[in-house]
């Protein structure tokens, strides 16, 4: 999309509606679960001879740049990115197949491993363990601006026992004062464990990120492809769009509120002229939070909605109508049923 196309689309209407009950949202609407691309071809894997493929988990503590790295490895926005820790909540797969159709990497972007305080946090850490339970290679991302913390120690302990090729990626070299020293501290946490190491800026070093991808391709075992060629992710388009809305909301909210927000796309309608009509709930935990998310005269919600719609329009390369509805689900982060309803299961 060029600059002119973009200008034409930003003026589309934005509808903002609000509500304060978890029961008055259109939860009963059926999700049209159209995949962003395609789901794994279960039982129909392409048994091409001599292909290499595998699952590669991207792990690390929160906020080190795992999702930034994934998006840049793929050149596609798969995962949300914010400056706030614990942005990624669910393991998300991003798929890369070489043009020659000889290799396929199924990356798994994982939530940051941390000391969980609630059921959501436990779910997030569980997502990391489950990603690690069946991988062919591991990428451990660390933040070279700082020496390791307890949380890095937790990650190192978990990955040390996984007997698969390990690549340690020291990230944020652009902003690190003592990257070499920091890298040595992180490497020390791995003890005698064998690993390759890379230092780069996931955000800026396009060339190095592609070199890293080549290094990952080189360690893939011989396997048939797990996903059809052309697949980009295993997420539904609804989940993916909800993540874009959550990203824009998290960026604009402070203190505990970003963590108490969830999003859920209830309905997605594609009009004949190509307009994508997306109806999304923004879930908060408290009535007080609801007021902040809406803002004076609806200003904050409008800002979130406009930014999310703009991003969706660019990423989908088409016009988008986005309707946001704020609903309150008290203590949803502690409520297993609510977590399931919100896609965290
Ligand atoms: N300076 C600098 N910042 C970076 C780099 N890579 C990522 N960041 C920033 O680090 C912050 C966290 O990035 P994410 O990609 O969301 O990190 P994450 O590890 O996925 O975080 P969680 O999902 O919360 O675990 C964002 O503000 C990014 O813009 C980098 O190479 N240099
Ligand atoms: Mg992330």
Residue 46 lies in a domain: no
User: What is the pLDDT, as a whole number, of residue 27?
Assistant: 25
What is the distance between the alpha carbons of residues 278 and 308, in angstroms, rounded to a whole number?
A: 11
pLDDT > 80? residue 168: yes
Q: What percent of the chain has pLDDT over 70?
A: 86
* Ligand 1, atom 14, residue with closest C-alpha: 65
Residue 87 lies in a domain: yes
User: What is the pLDDT, as a whole number, of residue 220?
Assistant: 98
User: What is the pLDDT, as a whole number, of residue 48?
Assistant: 56
pLDDT > 70? residue 288: yes
- CATH number of the domain where residue 241 is located: 3.30.300.20
Show Cβ contacts of residue 249 under 8 Å, excluding neighbours closer than 6 positions: 258, 261, 263, 282, 293, 304, 308
Average pLDDT over residues 140-147: 98
Average pLDDT over residues 38-57: 66
DSSP reduced 3-state for 113:
coil
| Ligand 1: centre distance to CA 28 (Å) | 36
Answer yes or no: do 209 and 266 share one domain.
no
| pLDDT confidence bin for 11, thresholds 50/70/90 | very low
Show Cβ contacts of residue 2 under 8 Å, excluding neighbours closer than 6 positions: none
Please list the alpha-helical segments (H only) found in the chain. Answer: 3-9, 66-74, 119-132, 150-160, 179-188, 206-218, 237-251, 287-294, 299-316, 336-341
Q: What is the pLDDT of residues 126-135, one digit of tens each?
A: 999 999 999 9
Answer yes or no: do 70 and 9 share one domain.
no
Q: What is the pLDDT of residues 189-211, one digit of tens each?
A: 999 999 999 999 999 999 999 99
pTM of structure: 0.88
- CATH number of the domain where residue 196 is located: 3.40.50.300
* Ligand 1, atom 9, residue with closest C-alpha: 65
pLDDT > 50? residue 1: no
Answer yes or no: do 128 and 92 share one domain.
yes
Ligand 1 atom index nearest CA of 201: 31
Last residue of a domain, one of 187, 218, 249: 218
Residue 140 lies in a domain: yes
Q: How many CA atoms lie within 13 A of 160 on its CB side?
A: 14
Answer yes or no: do 214 and 240 share one domain.
no
Residue 174 lies in a domain: yes
Q: What is the pLDDT of residues 330-341, one digit of tens each?
A: 999 999 999 999
Ligand closest to CA 111: 1
Ligand 1 atom index nearest CA of 141: 19
| Ligand 1: centre distance to CA 80 (Å) | 10
Could you identify the residue written with the tokens 């363990």?
Answer: 129
* Ligand 1, atom 24, residue with closest C-alpha: 86
Residue 47 lies in a domain: no
| pLDDT confidence bin for 223, thresholds 50/70/90 | very high
Cβ–Cβ under 8 Å, residues 217 and 52 = yes
Length of the chain: 345
Residue 229 lies in a domain: no
What is the distance between the alpha carbons of residues 230 and 323, in angstroms, rounded to a whole number?
A: 30
pLDDT > 90? residue 345: no
User: What is the pLDDT, as a whole number, of residue 33?
Assistant: 32
| Ligand 1: centre distance to CA 202 (Å) | 8
Backbone angles phi, psi at 296, to 5 degrees: -65, 120
| Ligand 1: centre distance to CA 31 (Å) | 31
| Ligand 2: centre distance to CA 205 (Å) | 18
Answer yes or no: do 337 and 298 share one domain.
yes
What is the distance between the alpha carbons of residues 319 and 292, in angstroms, rounded to a whole number?
A: 28
Last residue of a domain, one of 218, 251, 276: 218
Answer yes or no: do 84 and 195 share one domain.
yes
Mean pLDDT of the chain: 88
Show Cβ contacts of residue 300 under 8 Å, excluding neighbours closer than 6 positions: 252, 253, 292, 293, 294
Ligand closest to CA 84: 1
Q: What is the pLDDT of residues 230-254, one digit of tens each?
A: 999 999 999 999 999 999 999 999 9
Tokens standing for residue 89: 């909540």
Top mutation candidate among 58, 64, 65, 108 for ligand 1, by most atoms within 8 Å of CB: 65
Number of domains in the chain: 2
| Ligand 1: centre distance to CA 87 (Å) | 10
Taking CA atoms, 308 is separated from 176, 248, 278, 320, in Å, by 31, 6, 11, 10
Residue 199 lies in a domain: yes
Answer yes or no: do 209 and 304 share one domain.
no
Residue 43 lies in a domain: no
Answer yes or no: do 191 and 57 share one domain.
yes
Cβ–Cβ under 8 Å, residues 324 and 244 = no
Cβ–Cβ under 8 Å, residues 170 and 198 = yes
Average pLDDT over residues 258-279: 97
* Ligand 1, atom 8, residue with closest C-alpha: 65
Answer yes or no: do 27 and 59 share one domain.
no
Answer yes or no: do 61 and 8 share one domain.
no
| Ligand 1: centre distance to CA 201 (Å) | 10
Domain span at 104: 52-218
Q: What lines the ligand 1 site, CB under 6 Å? A: 60, 62-68, 81-83, 85-88, 111-112, 171-172, 174-175, 201-204
Last residue of a domain, one of 192, 218, 244: 218
Ligand 1 atom index nearest CA of 60: 19
Q: What percent of the chain has pLDDT over 90?
A: 85
pLDDT > 90? residue 216: yes
Average pLDDT over residues 21-38: 30
| Ligand 2: centre distance to CA 304 (Å) | 20
| Ligand 1: centre distance to CA 4 (Å) | 30
What is the distance between the alpha carbons of residues 163 and 263, in angstroms, rounded to a whole number?
A: 37
Taking CA atoms, 147 is separated from 62, 143, 177, 184, in Å, by 14, 8, 11, 9
User: What is the pLDDT, as a whole number, of residue 29?
Assistant: 23
Average pLDDT over residues 126-150: 97
Top mutation candidate among 59, 77, 80, 81 for ligand 1, by most atoms within 8 Å of CB: 81
* Ligand 1, atom 12, residue with closest C-alpha: 63
Answer yes or no: do 195 and 277 share one domain.
no
Answer yes or no: do 72 and 192 share one domain.
yes
Average pLDDT over residues 322-326: 98
């Amino acid at each position: 999309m060029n600059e002119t196309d973009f200008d034409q689309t930003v003026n589309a209407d934005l509808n903002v509606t609000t509500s304060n009950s978890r029961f008055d949202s259109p939860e009963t609407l059926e999700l049209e679960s159209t995949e962003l691309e395609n789901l794994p071809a279960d039982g129909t894997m392409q048994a091409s001879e001599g292909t290499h493929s595998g699952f590669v988990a991207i792990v690390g503590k929160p906020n080190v740049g795992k999702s930034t790295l994934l998006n840049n490895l793929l050149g596609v926005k798969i995962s949300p990115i914010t400056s706030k820790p614990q942005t990624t909540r669910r393991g998300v797969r991003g798929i890369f197949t070489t043009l020659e159709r000889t290799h396929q990497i199924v990356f798994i972007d994982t939530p940051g491993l941390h000391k969980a305080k609630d059921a959501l946090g436990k779910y997030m850490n569980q997502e990391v363990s489950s990603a690690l339970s069946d991988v062919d290679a591991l990428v451990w991302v660390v933040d070279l601006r700082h020496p390791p913390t307890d949380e890095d120690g937790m990650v190192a302990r978990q990955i040390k026992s996984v007997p698969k090729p390990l690549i340690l990626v020291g990230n944020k070299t652009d902003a690190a004062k003592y990257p070499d020293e920091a890298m040595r501290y992180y490497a020390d946490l791995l003890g005698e464990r064998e690993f390759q190491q890379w230092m780069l800026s996931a955000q800026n070093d396009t060339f190095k990120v592609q070199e890293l991808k080549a290094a990952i391709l080189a360690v893939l075992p011989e396997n048939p492809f797990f996903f059809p060629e052309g697949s980009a992710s295993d997420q539904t388009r609804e989940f993916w769009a909800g993540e874009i809305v959550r990203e824009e909301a998290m960026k604009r909210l402070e203190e505990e509120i970003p963590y108490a927000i969830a999003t859920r796309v209830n309905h997605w309608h594609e009009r004949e002229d190509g307009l994508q009509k997306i109806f999304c709930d923004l879930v908060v935990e408290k009535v007080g939070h609801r007021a902040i998310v809406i803002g004076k005269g609806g200003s904050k919600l409008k800002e979130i909605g406009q930014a999310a719609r703009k991003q969706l329009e660019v990423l989908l390369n088409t016009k988008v109508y986005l309707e946001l509805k704020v609903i309150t689900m008290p203590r949803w982060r502690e409520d297993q049923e609510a977590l399931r309803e919100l896609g965290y299961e």
